[in-house]
Amino acid sequence: MDTYASILLWAIPIFMIMMAVEILYGHYKKQQTYSFMDTISSLSSGMTNVLKDSLGLVLVIISYPYIMEKISIIEIEASYLLYIVAFVCIDFASYWNHRLNHSVNIFWNRHVIHHSSEEFNMACALRQSISAWIGFGALFLIPAAILGIPQKVIAILAPLHLFAQFWYHTRHIGKLGWLEYIIVTPSQHRVHHAINPIYIDKNLSAIFCIWDRMFGTFQEELESEPPVYGVLKPVSTWNPIFINFQHAYHLFLDAYHTKSFKDKLRLWFMPTGWRPDDVKDKFPRLKTQDIKNRKKYKLYYSLNLKIIAAFQFISINFLVFFLLNNFSLLDIDFKLYFGIMIFISIFGFTSFLDLYNWAPKFEFLRSFLCLIFLFAQPNQFLFDIYPISISVMLIYFSLTLVISVLYWNKLERPIISHNTD
């Protein structure tokens, strides 16, 4: 985990620079693909995923080394060929893992966050899951295990494979000629993120588009069918933690409400979107019917609220970088407590942006508890290395405490309406 945290310290600034270039280019071309609150939500989602992965919050039910030990039949010698074959195996595994996430109700909950933005830009690439708590991805790496590809090679290439998917989340790059037949391009991935009927569940490959062409999931972007982005059942929130568990919550409700015991058990493993007949009509779910005239989730914000959003986002980023930069120096228990503190902070301020009436009260409680945490663990904040660390955090949580009081009963969330299924 220390190595992964170190990699992120390099990767995150690169991602930020690429997003800044995309924003400036969009401004120059007068084709801006970013909106302020959607971007804040995307980047906040990225922070939650960084925390989950850095802290290792996953239960691995079957590991790659275990599978390799059981089924390996050959061993490729250390060479460029080894890394090429390993990368192809990772990409093959990614395709089938991705396809599973799109095909089965419960597994869609692991992936819906990535599709939840109604924009399409590099920021939405950072909408990664925190609900994938059960680790079984090694099952898709059976071809690599048979070939005896070492765990350390997989560990080196897996983050690179993930980071290599960032660049094609953009609307500013058109079709790329002959490359369209080899790699996943922005055009192909725009199709994947679209909710147009012809585009749904298409282009599931990560790096090499050959898998889509081989297994029947390829769809070209059509000039006559501009992609409309998001999910058919709009999430209608900026809170990444709500988004991560919203689909699972609805599955629980359906399992509770259906009178069929069989449906209570099978709905989790039915195709994505399937619902029991006896609850579908009685409890209709918000769903976009008119794709082309879909209204995006948008709330009104005063300038003060936008400033508060920017302040919260920058401050929480400071907390995340403090954790990552000092990951190897902090105690295990403190890292977990500090990570929870950041999770709660992201939940609190994004709920504030959703204009929930209870959000200022939650923020007050959150800020108060975080101040207690600061005073209870002063020696853990590396005061000898960063003399102002506690002072900066003290100022931040004190200000959020004041902000919560100022907005105590002043937030009012409007009624969100869509067509129903």
- As for how many domains the chain has, the answer is 3
Residue 366 belongs to domain spanning: 303-406
Quick one: 249 and 277 in the same domain? yes
Indicate the range of 20-24, 195-199, 378-382 predicted with least confidence: 378-382
Quick one: 65 and 133 in the same domain? yes
- Domain closes at, from 215, 231, 264: 215
Quick one: 26 and 171 in the same domain? yes
Residue 223 lies in a domain: no
CB 85 within 8 A of CB 76: yes
Quick one: 56 and 109 in the same domain? yes
Residue 420 lies in a domain: no
With tokens 């059981």, the residue in question is 70
Mean pLDDT for 300-329 is: 93
Quick one: 257 and 211 in the same domain? no
Calculate the CA dihedral of residues 318, 321, 323, 325 and round it to 10 degrees.
Answer: -140
Mean pLDDT for 42-52 is: 96
Return the closest-CA partner of residue 307 out of 403, 183, 168. Answer: 403
Quick one: 284 and 307 in the same domain? no
Helix axes 151-163, 64-71, angle to 10 degrees: 130
Average pLDDT, the chain: 93
pLDDT at 2: 62
Mean pLDDT for 259-280 is: 96
Residue 232 lies in a domain: no
pLDDT at 419: 45
Quick one: 185 and 278 in the same domain? no
- Entry pTM: 0.92
Half-sphere exposure of 90 (CA within 13 A, CB side): 22
Quick one: 37 and 161 in the same domain? yes
- Domain closes at, from 255, 289, 323: 289
Mean pLDDT for 274-296 is: 90
Quick one: 94 and 134 in the same domain? yes
Given pLDDT bands bounded at 50, 70 and 90, which one contains residue 133? confident
pLDDT at 109: 97
pLDDT at 311 over 90: yes
Rounded Cα distance, 135 and 12, in Å: 24
Given pLDDT bands bounded at 50, 70 and 90, which one contains residue 421? very low
Rounded Cα distance, 5 and 7, in Å: 5
pLDDT at 299 over 50: yes
pLDDT at 56: 87
Residue 34 lies in a domain: yes
Residue 227 lies in a domain: no
pLDDT at 1: 58
List the beta bridge partners of residue 194.
Answer: 229
Residue 322 lies in a domain: yes
Burial zone of 33 (CB within 10 Å; 0-12 exposed, 13-18 middle, 19+ buried): buried
Residue 353 lies in a domain: yes
Given pLDDT bands bounded at 50, 70 and 90, which one contains residue 208? very high
Quick one: 203 and 272 in the same domain? no
pLDDT at 308: 95
Quick one: 285 and 310 in the same domain? no
pLDDT at 418 over 60: no
Quick one: 255 and 181 in the same domain? no
Mean pLDDT for 324-338 is: 89
Given pLDDT bands bounded at 50, 70 and 90, which one contains residue 57? confident
Residue 221 lies in a domain: no
183 secondary structure, DSSP code: B
